[in-house]
Chain A
Amino acid sequence: MTDQANLERGYRRLLAWYPRAFRREHGPEILAVLMACAPDGRRRPGLAASADLIRSGLRMRLRPSVPRSARTVRAAIGLMYAVAALRTVYLINAVYVFIVLACIDDNKIHHMRLPEVTGALQVPPVNIAGFTVGIVGQLAVIAVWLWIARAAGQRRNWARTAAAALLGLATLEIALFFAAPRLITDMPDAPALAMLTWPVVAAAVWLLWRPASTAFFKPTGSTQVPGKS
């Protein structure tokens, strides 16, 4: 195989980081530019060029191009990513707390006789199964928000309905925390997270159902029936 063919294959592989639709439309074009930009004698993609393609590809996957004019949708997508980010930070913290709790020697704590502290630390031994379920659940919720945010950027109308449904679930979750606090989860500070994310989710849903957003999801003309006015 010649150096050029080798290099081209390397670039093709890197283009897999881009969304398929984008690759189908722009793949050959970008490949031509990449080959033109490559210095003579190069046999495989350079580190900087690879990093650039991976970063751009991921960015395009996570952040579909929503026109500047669709402000409400852009803001809603930003808020949905904020929810995912909040939950990620929470997840990292929860895993940390879990590790700390799991490492604490139970016997020592019971000998410390600090009434206020023992009150908080009597929860261990940690319920590993409950915690694992909580972490997997968190990961699933983060994935769902990322998915909905992406779908909203692609003008999928169901994304609005899905976001509204998740808002309903979030409301239910908070109600349940009040009704039966120990029933729900073994994750630390889960009610605080629910309270913190609820307004963000509510704002995103509100933005998605504004008339300005509806124009983005249902472009004029596509739903009109000819002959009727």
Chain B
Amino acid sequence: MQEATFLILTALAGGSQHGYGIITDVREISGGRVRLRPGTLYTALDRLRADQLVEPDREEIVDGRLRRYYRLTPAGGKRLRAEAGRLQAHATAALTRLNLAGGMAG
């Protein structure tokens, strides 16, 4: 799973959000490193919708502009959980080995 996709799903894991909300949330989650552009975001959302990991939630009009909210589907939640578990296992393995190597060096 691409990092942008992972972060979009993570942004939606806390509840439904609209496009601009996802962009600001992803920036926050990644510590300002990942700045999604609208074109990229909607390409990813389209793909996620096709895979039924994400679905439109509700719409509202704010200042005359359309806001469509998206939410995680149960399949999306499952997929994100699996991916997060995988990343966590990798990170744990990396840190364990680094600590081991560090212990031997010191």
Which A residues are closer than 8 A to B by beta carbons?
A: 22, 26, 28-37, 48-49, 52-57, 59-60, 65-69
Contact = CB atoms under 8 A, between A and B. Distances in A.
Contacts of B46: 22, 26, 60, 65
Report which residue of B38, B46, B51 has the largest number of chain A beta carbons within 10 angstroms of its beta carbon: B38
Main secondary structure of the interface of B (DSSP, over half): helix
Nearest to B19: A33
Given A29-B66, A29-B67, A65 B47 contact: yes
Contacts, number: 65
B47 A57 contact: no
Contact of A49 (B20, B37, B52): B37
The 9 closest A-B pairs by CB, nearest first: A56-B39, A65-B50, A32-B65, A52-B37, A52-B39, A33-B19, A28-B66, A53-B39, A36-B20
B89 to A, nearest CB: 22
A30 B67 CA distance: 9
Q: Please tell me the size bucket of the interface on B.
A: 20 to 34
A35 to B, nearest CB: 7
Given A65-B46, A67-B51, A67-B52, A32 B19 contact: yes
Given A67-B50, A67-B52, A68-B51, A33 B43 contact: no
B40 A30 contact: no
B23 interface: yes
A69 B38 CA distance: 26
A54 to B, nearest CB: 8
Given A59-B43, A65-B49, A29 B19 contact: yes
